[in-house]
Amino acid sequence: MQDIKRLIEDSREMSRRSFFSIAGWGAFTVGSAIALWESLGPPPVGKNGVDGSGGFLNPNVLYEDPAAFKAGLPTDYALGSTTVLTDKRVVINRDPNGFYAISLICTHLGCTPRYFSDVTSDLVTQGISGIRDPDTRQVANKANPILPGFKCPCHGSRYFRDAINFFGPAPRPMDRVSVELGRDGRLLIDRSVVVDRNFRLKA
Amino acid sequence: MKVLGAAWDELYSVMAQMVQGLFRHGLPLTDKIAARTALTNFFLHIHPVRVRRSWIRMSYTLCLGGLSFFLFIVLTVTGLYLMFYYVPSVEHAYQDMYDLKFVVTFGGVIRNMHRWAAHAMVITVWLHVARVFYTGAYKKPREFNWAIGTTLLLITLLLSFTGYLLPWDQLSIWAITVGTNMARYAPIAGPYTRYLMLGGKVVGANALLRFYVAHVVGLPLVAFLLMVVHFWRVRKDGFSGGL
Amino acid sequence: MATEARERIEARRRLQRAETPLAVRDDSQDEMIVSFPEFVFKEFIASVAMTVFLLIVSIWLDAPLLNRANPGMTPNPSKAPWYFLGLQELLSRFPPLMAGVAFPTFVIVLMILLPYLDRNPSRRPAERKVAIILFTLYMLIAVALVLIGTFFRGEAWTWNWGLVLGSG
């Protein structure tokens, strides 16, 4: 309380000139802060893609490849197959219990992993044990060293065929994205919708 | 004959006046004229008029700071040349690399020079930092200039990084994908920073244009301003020689 | 550290008593020369040498250019420019928040604050052993990481002697 009283007394003594000087600098600082915010303000990216508007340097409209696309008829994919759609950075797996799609973007730093029919045997030879897929319960060991999957060329992360990471710096499995059956009977894939790991499209 | 002689004298005096207007002093044959040259010439003004021999010993400076600045000039000139043929768009950028190599006279050499000078500048700037450290030249009263120097090292690396995307080849796109994804891991502002850097969610047309603008205008301008301050402070804080 | 502290105290004391100089040699009596043309000439020679060197290298060595950018296909192995390979090596070993954000920020801040952390006023190498050893260690680690990234990392960023020792 004492301090506030003193501040008021002091401000009474403040000359008109220094008051205007402080007010001027204050206005300049606030104005600059607003200008900075308007130019660099947070991007307009919400949960459903782009909505609202961001600062000048954050584009509100993107002319990037649309997230959703069609990927042919279900019959185009053999049972147990893994198909890499290179242009779209998506993998479509067809298992006995259905389809699921993987967004082929390494969860470490965003490179595109590559599919190999064997991503485990060299690790087994080096004596690394405990390579086990928690979902399919497949195990790579001396008796059965070869499992298919993905290797990332940038920092050496490895994933099983079902996108679950088991080696290298990747922090989590690659995202599974939505697969639906379109009205024309073709697969409709939306890369912007991440789905649960147990998701399967029965077809 | 007399007329010709008079005309010649007139021409000579006009030319002499031009030269005097340009230089304001004679040839630097004596120390006094040389000192006046350094004092009045804008471009030489970067140096003090008189220096101690020990300050500029090659075995002390190794010429590293000067070479870094010279490489910056080389990069500005070759970069300017490249700008005449390079279009920062996804359709043209990669094709322009081939044009430079096979169609433009000396285009390949200019591009190579730009690239190798950039590598050389990273090396000389690093060695300059090491030299300043080992001679203890960053100590009082040069603390602030050391901070500017560190920032200049950072800007050199950023210039290199932004230039890396411009040829739009496989090397470019993946180095920038990895680099910008690193920014995404920064707490809170990470994803925002990446969106801001790329102007979108993937390394595409917007990212190419943004990196181009930063590479040819934004960062060089900041680097130039900081260099001016850096050189000014070298003179005002005193040369560090005498080790 | 103890030696460094003792040396620092000794150097400060000398600074107060204004005895022997903090640098190896006192330069206040050195010959003064006019910077133009002698100094300028040295700089000129250095820049001409650099230009010639760059020209020769640029004529003989082409700047690398891979295939056109393709977001769907990462080349294998995929490497950053050499001066970032140390960072890439760290990224392949530690979580990205640490290797990609925290660690570089820490190094930059440390470098800017260096004159305030190393408060030993002496510039004699013999009196700043700890500082010199630490910095040399830092440089050696940086160079080693770059060399590892350049020469010992092959496909999918696995360790590979082959690039150095011939086909491996």
3-state secondary structure of C97: helix
Residue B78 φ/ψ, nearest 5 degrees: -65, -35
- pLDDT at residue number C88: 81
In a domain, residue B47? The reply is no
- ipTM tops 0.90: no
Give 10-residue mean pLDDT values along chain C (168 residues): 68 65 65 78 90 94 88 79 83 81 90 89 83 92 89 76 59
Q: How far apart are CA A198 and CA A136, in angstroms?
A: 11
Q: What proportion of chain B, given as a percentage, has pLDDT over 70? A: 99
Question: What is the full DSSP assignment across B141-192?
Answer: T-HHHHHHHHHHHHHHHHHHHHHHHTT-BHHHHHHHHHHHHHHHTSTTTHHH
In chain C, where the domains are located: 2-60, 82-165
Question: Which among C78, C100, C155 has the least Cβ separation from residue A111?
Answer: C78
CB contact under 8 A, B196 and A58: yes
Residues of A in contact with C75 (CB under 8 A): 153
In a domain, residue B222? The reply is yes
Nearest in space to C90 (alpha carbons), one of C138, C146, C162, C135: C146
CB contact under 8 A, B181 and A45: no
Question: A174 versus B185: which is more confidently predicted?
Answer: A174
Residues of C in contact with B34 (CB under 8 A): 34, 36-37
User: Angle of helix C129-151 relative to helix C85-93, nearest 10 degrees?
Assistant: 80
Q: Quick one: average pLDDT of B31-56?
A: 78
Q: Quick one: average pLDDT of A151-159?
A: 87
**B130, B72: one domain:** yes
Q: Return the HEC string of C65-86.
A: CCCECCCCCCCCCCCCCHHHHH
Inter-chain CB pairs, B–C, below 8 Å: 210
Q: Are C80 and C88 within 8 A, CB to CB?
A: yes
Place of tokens 């004679």: B26
Q: How far apart are CA A89 and CA A113, in angstroms?
A: 9
3-state secondary structure of B92: coil
- pLDDT at residue number A9: 72
In a domain, residue B51? The reply is no
Question: Which chains are adjacent to chain A, needing at least 3 Cβ pairs under 8 Å?
Answer: B, C
CB atoms within 10 A of CB C19: 9
**B125, B12: one domain:** no
- Which of A118-127, B181-190, B221-230 comes out lowest in average pLDDT? B181-190
Q: Per residue in B149-162, is it b (16+ CB within 10 Å) or e — as a string?
A: bbbbbbbbbbbbbb
In a domain, residue B219? The reply is yes
Q: How far apart are CA A181 and CA A187, in angstroms?
A: 5
Distance from CA of C76 to the nearest CA of A (A): 5
pTM of the model: 0.83
Q: Are A116 and A81 within 8 A, CB to CB?
A: no
Q: Decide: residue A5, CB within 10 A, 0-12 exposed, 13-18 middle, 19+ buried.
A: exposed
B77 pLDDT band (50/70/90 cuts)? very high
CB contact under 8 A, C92 and A169: yes
**B82, B182: one domain:** yes
3-state secondary structure of C153: strand
Query: Which of the 8 DSSP states describes residue C141?
Result: H
Residues of A in contact with C155 (CB under 8 A): 153
B73 pLDDT band (50/70/90 cuts)? very high
Q: How far apart are CA B215 and CA A160, in angstroms?
A: 40
Closest-CA residue of chain A to C77: A153
A54-88 pLDDT, tens digit per residue, is 788 888 888 888 888 998 888 889 888 899 998 88
Question: C101 versus B227: which is more confidently predicted?
Answer: B227
Nearest in space to A91 (alpha carbons), one of A197, A175, A171: A175
- CATH code of the domain in which B168 resides: 1.20.810.10
Residues of A in contact with C152 (CB under 8 A): none
**B67, B130: one domain:** yes
Q: Are A81 and A75 within 8 A, CB to CB?
A: no
Q: Percent helix, strand, coil in chain A (nearest 5)?
A: 20, 25, 50
**B223, B167: one domain:** yes
B226 pLDDT band (50/70/90 cuts)? very high
B147-172 pLDDT, tens digit per residue, is 999 999 999 999 999 999 999 999 88
- pLDDT at residue number B12: 93
Residues of B in contact with A154 (CB under 8 A): 174, 178
Is C93 near chain A, with CB under 8 Å? Answer: yes
Q: Which two tokens stand for residue C42?
A: 């040295």
**B138, B169: one domain:** yes
In a domain, residue B135? The reply is yes
Closest-CA residue of chain A to B177: A110
- Hey, which bits of A26-97 come out as E strands? 45-46, 49-50, 68-70, 82-85, 90-95
CB contact under 8 A, A169 and C77: no
- Identify any residues that bridge with A84 across adjacent strands, giving them in sequence order: A91
**Helix spans in chain C (H):** 2-17, 35-60, 85-93, 96, 103-117, 129-151, 162-165
Distance from CA of B67 to the nearest CA of A (A): 34
Q: What proportion of chain A, given as a percentage, has pLDDT over 90? A: 26
User: Angle of helix B170-184 relative to helix B143-165, nearest 10 degrees?
Assistant: 130
Residues of A in contact with C77 (CB under 8 A): 153-154
Q: Are C89 and C145 within 8 A, CB to CB?
A: yes
- pLDDT at residue number B62: 77
- pLDDT at residue number B179: 81
**B151, B211: one domain:** yes
**B31, B62: one domain:** no
Q: How far apart are CA B106 and CA B179, in angstroms?
A: 32
**Residue numbers of the domain that contains B29:** 1-37
**B120, B152: one domain:** yes
**B32, B121: one domain:** no
- pLDDT at residue number C52: 95
Distance from CA of B162 to the nearest CA of A (A): 17
Is A196 near chain C, with CB under 8 Å? Answer: no
CB contact under 8 A, C42 and B146: no
**B101, B4: one domain:** no
Q: How many domains does chain B have?
A: 2
Distance from CA of C161 to the nearest CA of B (A): 23
CB contact under 8 A, A110 and B204: no
